[in-house]
C-alpha cells in the first residue's frame, strides 16, 4: 500500500509543479494586502510540491524496503530512519521555497540548531540516544530488556522514547506480562545499564530450577534423575542452541567451558540440600518450561520415596 500512495503523491507534486509554471506564465491579476495573487499561488503550490514530493519519496522508499525485508524489527527501524530523513529534507525544501535564500537558510539553520542545543538538551540527548540505538543495537523492537528498574518487551522505538510492555512489576511475578506499558526516554541508554535477554544473535538465557530435599536423600540418584528428566524434555533442543552459543563465544577472547546438556548443582543449606537444575531456555518460555520441569521432577521423585526424602522443617 505504501508504494501506490507514494506514486500518487509524486503525481500530485508534478501537477502542482505544472500549476506553478502555468501561474508564472499566465499570471493572475489582483492582490491581497499588497501581495499579488500570482505570488501567493506560486508560493502555495511550491510548498505543496515540496510536501508531496517528500512524502511520495518516503512512501516509495519504505515500500521498496518493506518488500525486500521480511524482518519486522528492521522494517520498524527503517520506517523511523526514512521518516527522519525525508521529513528533514521536506522541511528544508519548504523553508527554501518560502525564503528563496538557500545559503542564508542553511546558515540560519546552523545558528538555530546551535541555540536549540542549549534550550532543548534533554530531547536532544534522547535523539542522540535513538541514533545510538540504531547504530549499536543494544536492543530493538521485539527484544525483552531490563533498563534501570523497568523490565519488558520493546514494542516501539521512536525518535525520543522507547515503549515497553511491562513484565513483572508491582502487579505480577515470574516474568509474566502485567498489562501496563512503560515509556522511557532514549537518553537512558547513554547513562544506564541495559540488559537484553533476547538479542538477535543468541536469544536464550540460562535458567535454574531449585528442588529442596532432605539429607537422607540418595544424592547420586536424585542428581541423575533430575538430569535425565530435563534431558528427555529439552536436551536435544538445548544442544542445538549450545552450538550457536559456542560459535558466538569463539568470536570473543572469553574462554569458557559450556555443557550442552542440562546439569545439576548441589548446594548445602542449613536444614536441607538444594538441587539446582541448570538449563538453557528462551526467556518468553522460561516460566512454562520451569513449571513443566518441576512437575516432571517431583513425579519422578515421588516414584521412589525410599530414595528421595523431602525436608519437613517449618523453616522452609
Q: Note the pLDDT tens digit of each residue in 145-165.
A: 999 889 999 999 988 899 999
Q: Quote the pLDDT of residue 294.
A: 93
User: For cell 512489576, what's the residue?
Assistant: 169
CB 7: neighbour CB atoms within 10 A? 14
Residue 171 reports pLDDT greater than 90: no
Cα 95 to Cα 57, 61, 113, 294, distances in angstroms: 18, 23, 15, 66
Distances (CA, A) of 107 to 55, 84, 87, 102, 206: 25, 20, 19, 9, 55
- Grid cell in block for residue 282: 528462551
Reply yes or no on whether the pLDDT at 296 is more than 90: yes
Q: Residue 210's pLDDT is what?
A: 92
Cα–Cα separations (whole angstroms), residue 293 to 81, 97, 174, 235, 276: 44, 68, 15, 12, 12
**Residue with the larger pLDDT of the pair 183 and 80:** 183
Nearest-angstrom CA–CA distance, 297 and 303: 10
pLDDT exceeds 80 at position 92: no
What is the four-CA torsion angle of 126, 131, 135, 136, rounded to 10 degrees?
A: -10
Q: How confident is the model at residue 47 (pLDDT cuts 50, 70, 90)?
A: confident
Question: Quick one: pLDDT at residue 316?
Answer: 46
**Start-to-end Cα distance in the chain:** 61
3-class DSSP assignment, residue 31: strand
Percent of the chain having pLDDT more than 70? 85
pTM: 0.64
pLDDT digits (tens, 9 = 90+) for 78-91: 777 777 777 777 77
Amino acid at each position: 500500500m505504501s508504494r501506490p500512495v507514494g506514486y500518487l503523491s509524486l503525481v500530485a507534486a508534478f501537477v502542482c509543479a505544472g500549476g506553478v509554471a502555468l501561474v508564472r506564465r499566465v499570471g493572475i491579476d489582483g492582490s491581497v494586502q499588497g501581495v499579488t495573487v500570482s505570488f501567493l499561488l506560486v508560493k502555495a503550490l511550491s510548498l505543496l510540491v515540496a510536501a508531496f514530493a517528500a512524502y511520495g519519496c518516503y512512501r516509495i522508499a519504505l515500500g521498496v524496503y518493506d518488500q525486500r525485508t521480511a524482518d519486522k524489527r528492521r522494517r520498524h527501524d527503517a520506517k523511523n530512519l526514512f521518516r527522519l530523513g525525508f521529513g528533514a529534507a521536506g522541511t528544508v525544501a519548504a523553508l527554501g521555497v518560502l525564503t528563496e535564500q538557500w545559503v542564508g537558510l542553511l546558515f540560519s539553520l546552523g545558528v538555530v540548531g546551535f541555540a536549540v542545543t542549549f534550550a532543548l538538551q534533554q530531547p536532544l540527548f534522547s535523539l542522540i540516544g535513538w541514533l545510538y540505538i540504531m547504530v549499536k543495537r543494544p536492543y530493538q523492537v521485539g527484544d525483552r530488556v531490563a533498563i534501570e528498574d523497568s523490565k519488558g518487551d520493546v514494542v516501539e522505538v521512536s525518535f525520543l522514547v522507547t515503549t515497553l510492555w511491562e513484565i513483572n512489576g508491582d502487579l505480577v511475578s515470574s516474568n509474566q506480562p502485567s498489562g501496563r506499558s512503560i515509556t522511557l526516554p532514549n537518553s537512558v541508554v547513554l547513562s544506564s545499564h541495559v540488559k537484553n535477554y533476547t538479542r538477535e544473535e543468541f536469544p536464550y538465557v540460562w535458567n535454574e530450577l531449585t528442588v529442596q530435599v532432605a539429607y537422607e536423600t540418595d544424592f547420586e540418584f536424585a542428581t541423575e534423575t533430575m538430569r535425565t528428566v530435563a534431558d528427555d524434555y529439552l536436551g536435544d533442543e538445548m544442544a542445538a542452541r549450545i552450538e550457536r552459543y559456542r560459535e558466538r563465544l569463539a568470536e570473543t577472547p572469553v574462554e569458557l567451558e559450556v555443557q550442552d546438556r542440562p546439569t545439576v548443582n548441589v548446594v548445602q543449606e542449613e536444614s536441607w540440600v538444594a538441587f539446582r537444575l541448570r538449563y538453557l531456555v528462551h526467556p518468553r518460555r522460561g516460566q512454562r518450561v520451569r513449571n513443566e520441569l518441576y512437575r516432571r521432577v517431583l513425579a519422578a521423585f515421588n516414584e521412589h520415596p525410599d530414595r528421595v526424602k523431602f525436608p519437613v522443617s517449618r523453616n522452609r
